[in-house]
Amino acid sequence: MGEKELSELGKKSVDSEFFTLIPDGYKKGKTKYIIITGSVISGIGKGTVSSSIAKLMDERGLEVSPMKAEAYFNVDAGTLNPFRHGEVFVLDDGTETDMDLGSYERFTNKNLTKENYITTGKIFLEIIEKERAGKYLGRDVQLIPHVTGETKKYFRKLAVDSKADLVLIEIGGTVGDYENMYLLEAVRQLIYEEGKENVCLINLTYIFEPKTLGEQKSKAAQLGIKKLIELGLMPDIVICRSEHPVKNNIREKISVFSNVPLQRVIGLHDSDEFYEIPLMMKEKGLDKEIFEILNINEKKLANHSSLKKWTESMTVKNPKKTLTVGIAGKYTGLKDSYISIIKALEHCEAEFQIKIKTKWIEATEIETGKKKVTEVMKGVDALIVPGGYGKRGSEGKIECIKFCREKNIPFLGICYGMQMALIEFSRNVLNKKNANTTEIDSKTSYPVVCLLPDQKKIEGLGGNNRLGGFDVEVKKGTKAFELYEKEKIRERFRHRYECNPEFIKEFEENGLIFSGKAPKVEIMQILELKKHKFFFGTQFHPELTSRPLNPNPCFKGLIKACL
């Protein structure tokens, strides 16, 4: 379909069966698309592969803008339980997203926006609002062409807004799920409208290796690809995830079955070195195959050698020391709940050339008396109490914080972790035994943590936090200033409660230092103790802005205190 024809379709979208919405300034072929789907099973690293491909393209000087297209009906990830879906990642503009957006940001070293994330809920909400306003001019609004048309609009709008050479779209879920069928249909239409030379479709599949057989089996992968083909989508590249290196005969079977040339059937087995994955994919020629499919002249691209240096810098071969960092939370059954914290610690591993082991401390076990704090803190060099909500596990976290304060063990409290530190200090230093947060006890005698003034008017849960990037004023002569080396910083927030301003003076008179606050208002955002190896609390989430080769200063400070 030509550019003029595509433009005409956009002008008559309401009357046309195509219903193709073309954003102002869109030019066909100016931005090309890489689509990534997953088949067979979920949880095989689609987000990591997508991030790695973005890194590969970025390394050659191409401007890449990644997008996650999620199939769930939630408008955003804000109300999702971390047990079910992993961490909620917050963008600088305040959008609450899937954790894969965090992976994209870390690999590309770019701040993304709400345009890089869509959900079924977000699309359908817009469609219903348009229908109620009569903007479909009497049409019966259907999955095809209206839902698929609105979906393609988001793809193309990102191309225009980001001015990217490549828009990389990861389709959430697994091929064959009912819920993402409309997304895959939108992709099929996009290929039809943009032309094969402008869209590269990559399918990530899985090769099983049953222990009882001792050999790799490709049938599940074949059936997954068959489902994709039945939907009218022919993959250009197939990436085969597996436990061990994929055998050539398996690649040949996949190639014959899917009509994908053998050199475009790429094996990607499990690796202990996470940050080597982009280089592994480059060495298998993935980037060159993408350039050929998209008709990109590789000779005109920058010939960067930075990827190898980046990989070497992020890979710790001979650690100087091994540390154990405890993470006391209530979602420890699913490590993805704290994935950005894990990544921030990995960034510190590279920075200090050490190995960091994480010890997961289930705070509810301390709270219920199942385990003692002395038992869970045994062998822990430092403690992190991460963000969270609600009563469950709170008393266990307070016990751990008290142990760190009294035993001079480096401590970092993040968001809810900082609030728990305020409660612990109030109870055990200020002797306010009933001190609490009004989130847990609305009738506490000492509400040292309470609702932010702007939050008191808000009802319900969805989208009511103080969200996104905000400036923080840092006080000179403090640990915070030593870490950041500047008086104004920008970090990301996701909270409703704060240190009660009525208690600030009393805290400070008894040795607690508020070294960071919001500009112009008395909202305390960093706390520290002077006579302690490292006792640090932040109302913001420093893990969200930590990057490979540039760890967040709060995590650097924590690990440096251990060393």
From the list 185, 450, 543, 554, the catalytic residue is 543
Residue 460 has pLDDT above 70, yes or no: no
C-alpha distance from residue 217 to each of 39, 210, 250, 414, 456 (Å): 15, 8, 7, 45, 57
Task: Name residue, tokens 């193709």.
Answer: 20
| Architecture in CATH of 3-312 | 3-Layer(aba) Sandwich (3.40)
> Span 96-108, mean pLDDT?
95
Listed range (58-67, 79-88, 400-409) with the worst mean pLDDT: 79-88
> Span 43-56, mean pLDDT?
94
Residue 200 has pLDDT above 60, yes or no: yes
> Span 200-223, mean pLDDT?
94
Tell me the residue ranges of DSSP E strands in 338-424. 355-362, 382-385, 411-414
* Domains 3-312 and 322-562 fall in the same CATH topology: yes
Q: How far apart are CA 375 and CA 366, in angstroms?
A: 10
pLDDT attached to residue 1: 65
Find out whether 330 and 393 touch, Cβ atoms under 8 Å. Answer: yes
pLDDT attached to residue 529: 96
> Span 49-69, mean pLDDT?
96
Find out whether 452 and 466 touch, Cβ atoms under 8 Å. Answer: yes
pLDDT attached to residue 304: 74
What confidence tens digit (pLDDT) does each residue in 247-295 have? Answer: 999 999 999 999 999 999 999 999 888 899 999 999 999 999 999 999 9
Class of residue 227 by CB neighbours under 10 A (exposed 0-12, middle 13-18, buried 19+) = middle
Q: Which residues, at least 6 apart from 473, have a Cβ–Cβ distance to it below 8 Å?
A: 487, 488, 516, 517, 518, 519
From the list 400, 415, 499, 562, the catalytic residue is 415
Provide φ and ψ at 74, rounded to 5°: -60, 140
Residue 459 has pLDDT above 70, yes or no: no
pLDDT attached to residue 84: 74
> Span 215-221, mean pLDDT?
95
Tokens of 268: 């990607």
Residue 147 has pLDDT above 90, yes or no: yes
pLDDT attached to residue 556: 98
Per-residue pLDDT band at 12 (split at 50, 70, 90) = low
pLDDT attached to residue 306: 86
Q: Name the residue ranges covered by the structural domains of the chain.
A: 3-312, 322-562
> Span 498-526, mean pLDDT?
95
Per-residue pLDDT band at 392 (split at 50, 70, 90) = confident
Picking from 337, 356, 338, the residue whose alpha carbon sits closest to that of residue 346 is 356
From the list 70, 541, 554, 562, the catalytic residue is 541
> Angle of helix 120-132 relative to helix 148-162, nearest 10 degrees?
110
Residue 463 has pLDDT above 70, yes or no: no
Find out whether 144 and 16 touch, Cβ atoms under 8 Å. Answer: no
- Tell me which H or E stretch contains 81: none
**Annotation says 415 is catalytic:** yes
What confidence tens digit (pLDDT) does each residue in 396-447 have? Answer: 999 999 999 999 999 999 999 999 999 999 999 999 999 999 999 999 999 9
**Annotation says 541 is catalytic:** yes
Give me the count of residues in the chain.
563
pLDDT attached to residue 7: 59
CA-based torsion, 342, 344, 345, 347: positive or negative: positive
Per-residue pLDDT band at 8 (split at 50, 70, 90) = low
> Span 363-371, mean pLDDT?
89
pLDDT attached to residue 56: 95
Residue 17 has pLDDT above 90, yes or no: no
What confidence tens digit (pLDDT) does each residue in 18-32 have? Answer: 778 899 999 999 999
On average, the pLDDT of the chain sits at 92
pLDDT attached to residue 336: 79
Residue 455 has pLDDT above 60, yes or no: no
Per-residue pLDDT band at 9 (split at 50, 70, 90) = low
pLDDT attached to residue 389: 81
pLDDT attached to residue 5: 62
pLDDT attached to residue 494: 93
Residue 374 has pLDDT above 60, yes or no: yes
Which pTM was predicted?
0.92
355-362 β-sheet, strand order: 355-362, 322-329, 382-385, 411-414, 535-538, 524-529, 512-517, 466-474, 488-495
Per-residue pLDDT band at 393 (split at 50, 70, 90) = confident
Whether the upstream peptide bond of residue 145 has omega within 30° of 0, thus cis, is yes
Q: How far apart are CA 178 and CA 185, in angstroms?
A: 12
Picking from 32, 384, 400, 351, the residue whose alpha carbon sits closest to that of residue 194 is 32
Listed range (87-101, 160-174, 332-346, 543-557) with the worst mean pLDDT: 332-346
> Span 512-535, mean pLDDT?
95
Residue 133 has pLDDT above 60, yes or no: yes
Tokens of 47: 């987000």
pLDDT attached to residue 493: 95
pLDDT attached to residue 14: 63
* Percent above pLDDT 90 for the chain: 81
pLDDT attached to residue 302: 80
**Annotation says 185 is catalytic:** no
Instruction: Could you please state the CATH topology (level 3) that the domain comprising 322-562 is classified under.
Output: Rossmann fold (3.40.50)
